[in-house]
Amino acid sequence: MTLSESSAGQERVSSKRRSALLAGCAATVLMTVAACGGGTASTTEKDGFAQAPQKDGALTVWVDATRLAAAKQYQQLHPDVKLDIVSYDGNANGSNYLQTKVQLFNRTHKGWPDVVFSSQNNEVTWAVDAGFAAPLNKGLIPEGTLGNFAKGANDVCTVNGTLYCLRNDLSQAVLWYNAPLMKKFGYTVPTTWEDYQKLGEKVAEEHPGYLVGDAGDSFTPEIYLWASKCGANHITGPKAVSVNTTSEACTKMAKLMDALIKNKSMSISGVFSTDFTKNEADKILLMPGPAWFGGAVFKDGLKTPAKQIGVAPIPQWKGDTSTSTGNVGGGTWLLSQHSTHLKAATDFLKWVTTDNAYQGEKAPGFPAYAPAAENWLKAQDASGYFSGGLGALKDASGQVWPGWGSGQFSQEAIWAATVKPGLTQGKSIVSMLPAWQDSIVKYAKSDGYKVSQ
């Protein structure tokens, strides 16, 4: 507009300005194009990967809202480290945010975070191929430290013998219960799934409205069906999966859930939904769930008062000889191959996964680093929030059924899109098992997996 006004009087000046403007535009375009093509600096082969030239500057750390406290604590204890803390969704529920961003950074050749937390434990299925995750057991982290992680904890981080991430916490499923409420109603904590179902039926009759579990989360299959040894997600190789959702192990658990959903002693809202927090928070009698339910759901989410929540082993099927339980996530920490602050990044990574100051005391979930876990259990006992000991958590950490893996496709996303809408419409889980299998197979195939059924 101003351009046209001036065109009446100062034609020449304005045309000069105009061409300057145009040149500016063109230069911007050229620069953008040039930046996209960005050159690659010379790298040094060390610790099992090509390292970028190291520089001074702030260490960029990506964490989810829960792990923000860890990064802040690190900053407090290490005031001399320049830390740039970025909070993101932690890739929860298969949002793929991290993967999306890394693909973009790979194209622009810059922008990668130095250390990143993910609430998912399947990141290495893409982060290794994308050239993002740095190998950790080739010199960056000493063997002694790695040996102290709980047995099998870092299996999800290992590709062909090389470790590409460190597990933050274990998420073995246990049976949470409200001790005073159980006592008031005169119930005992069930040890078999058969007793669990009977109790659910009794609760529905005697105390309608109270809950023995929740089946409305995207990770519901990882609590119930995994614990029941349902072979829905058996990762048999780097790009191979075996899927069978209609075996007896699957159907008997699905039937149990259907019965309890029908009599309303099992909720289908999901523990993080607004209506659950509003309507069911004080109605929980029993709740099978992962280790982090204690902190994230009961203490922080539902604000259950202290001295109420206790932990028992997850029920087993009668006659089953080997105990088994499920697992819901358990976050991982990745270190970027592209980091130009490897020393600082490694220090942070080591601190955040192993140091008692955070993992041993403050962490909301069960630490994957065994010495920290010991300390964590003591700290939890000392804090006096839980009713009774947390021994069941420790026992369960070694009982996670190994027949359920972490593929590139998100089991949580598949369950949420395939089974959850049907549950809301009143369909039974048993009737949806074949559709669930079909959906897993399709997603696995589209991610390039070889599928056997």
Partner 1 sequence: MTLTLSSTGSARRRRRGPARQSRAGAAFVAAYVILLIAFGILPTGYAVYFAFTDAGGTFTGFANFITTAQDFRFVDAVSHVAVYLVLWLFSLVVFVVGLALLLHRLASGKAGQALRFLYYIPGALAGAASVLVWLFMLDPTVSPVSSLLGTLGFHTFGEVIAPGNLALLFTIIAFWTGAGGWIVVMYGALNNIPKDVMEAAHIDGANAWQTAWRVQIPMLRKWIVYMVILGFAGGAQLFVEPQLLSLASVGVAGRDYSVNQLTYDFAFQMNNINGAAAVSVELLVVGVSAAALFVARSGFFDAD
Strand order in the sheet with 173-178: 286-290, 173-178, 309-312
The answer for 384, left when phi > 0, alpha when psi is -120 to 50, beta otherwise, is left
> CB 294 → partner 1: shortest distance, Å?
21
* Contact present, 191 and 288 (Cβ < 8 Å): no
Q: Site for partner 1 (CB under 8 A): which residue of 105, 185, 272, 317? A: 272
Residue 22 sits in the site that holds partner 1 (CB under 8 A): yes
What φ, ψ does residue 188 adopt, rounded to 5°?
-110, 155
Residue 99 sits in the site that holds partner 1 (CB under 8 A): yes
Residue 316 sits in the site that holds partner 1 (CB under 8 A): no
Q: Site for partner 1 (CB under 8 A): which residue of 4, 160, 321, 322? A: 4
The first and second tokens of residue 140, run together, are 């960056």
31/77 with CB nearer partner 1: 31
Residue 13 sits in the site that holds partner 1 (CB under 8 A): no
Match 């375009």 to its residue by tokens. 29
Residue 3 sits in the site that holds partner 1 (CB under 8 A): yes
> CB 332 → partner 1: shortest distance, Å?
18
> CB 89 → partner 1: shortest distance, Å?
8
Q: Site for partner 1 (CB under 8 A): which residue of 84, 205, 275, 320? A: 275
Q: Which residues contact 52 (CB under 8 A, 6 or more apart)?
A: 41, 43, 338, 339, 340
Distance CA 157, CA 163 (A): 6
Distance CA 390, CA 312 (A): 8
Q: Site for partner 1 (CB under 8 A): which residue of 73, 75, 96, 323? A: 96
Give 390's DSSP letter.
Answer: -
> CB 228 → partner 1: shortest distance, Å?
23
Distance CA 175, CA 316 (A): 11
Choose the stretch contacting partner 1; rule: CB under 8 A; options: 54-62, 89-97, 191-199, 243-251: 89-97
Total binding residues toward partner 1, as defined by CB under 8 A: 50
130/181 with CB nearer partner 1: 130
Choose the stretch contacting partner 1; rule: CB under 8 A; options: 69-77, 181-189, 213-221, 351-359: 213-221
Choose the stretch contacting partner 1; rule: CB under 8 A; options: 188-196, 215-223, 341-349, 387-395: 215-223
Q: Which residues contact 318 (CB under 8 A, 6 or more apart)?
A: 192, 193, 194
Residue 15 sits in the site that holds partner 1 (CB under 8 A): yes
Choose the stretch contacting partner 1; rule: CB under 8 A; options: 17-25, 140-148, 149-157, 321-329: 17-25
Count Cβ atoms below 10 Å from residue 330 Cβ, excluding itself: 24
> CB 324 → partner 1: shortest distance, Å?
26
Calculate ∠ Cα 115-363-215, nearest 5°. 100
Rg from Cα positions in the chain:
26
Sign of the CA dihedral with 101 first, then 106, 107, and 113 last = positive
* Contact present, 269 and 214 (Cβ < 8 Å): yes
Residue 233 sits in the site that holds partner 1 (CB under 8 A): no
- Collapsing DSSP states into helix, strand and coil, what is residue 271? coil
For β-strands 59-63 and 83-87, DSSP reports them as parallel
> CB 415 → partner 1: shortest distance, Å?
8
34/306 with CB nearer partner 1: 34
Q: Scan residues 403-442 and list those touching partner 1 (CB under 8 A).
A: 410, 412-413, 416-417, 420-421, 424-425, 442
Length of the chain: 453
Residue 273 sits in the site that holds partner 1 (CB under 8 A): yes
Give 208's DSSP letter.
Answer: T
Nearest to 357 by CA among 339, 379, 336, 383: 379
Alpha-carbon dihedral 62, 66, 68, 69, rounded to 10 degrees: -150
Choose the stretch contacting partner 1; rule: CB under 8 A; options: 5-13, 48-56, 138-146, 184-192: 5-13
Q: Scan residues 27-46 and list those touching partner 1 (CB under 8 A).
A: 29
Count Cβ atoms below 10 Å from residue 383 Cβ, excluding itself: 11
Residue 105 sits in the site that holds partner 1 (CB under 8 A): no
Q: Scan residues 133-192 and list those touching partner 1 (CB under 8 A).
A: none
Residue 331 sits in the site that holds partner 1 (CB under 8 A): no
Residues that bind partner 1 (CB under 8 A): 1, 3-5, 7-8, 11, 15, 18, 21-22, 25-26, 29, 89, 92-96, 99-100, 103-104, 126, 129-130, 216-218, 268-270, 272-275, 278, 410, 412-413, 416-417, 420-421, 424-425, 442, 446-447
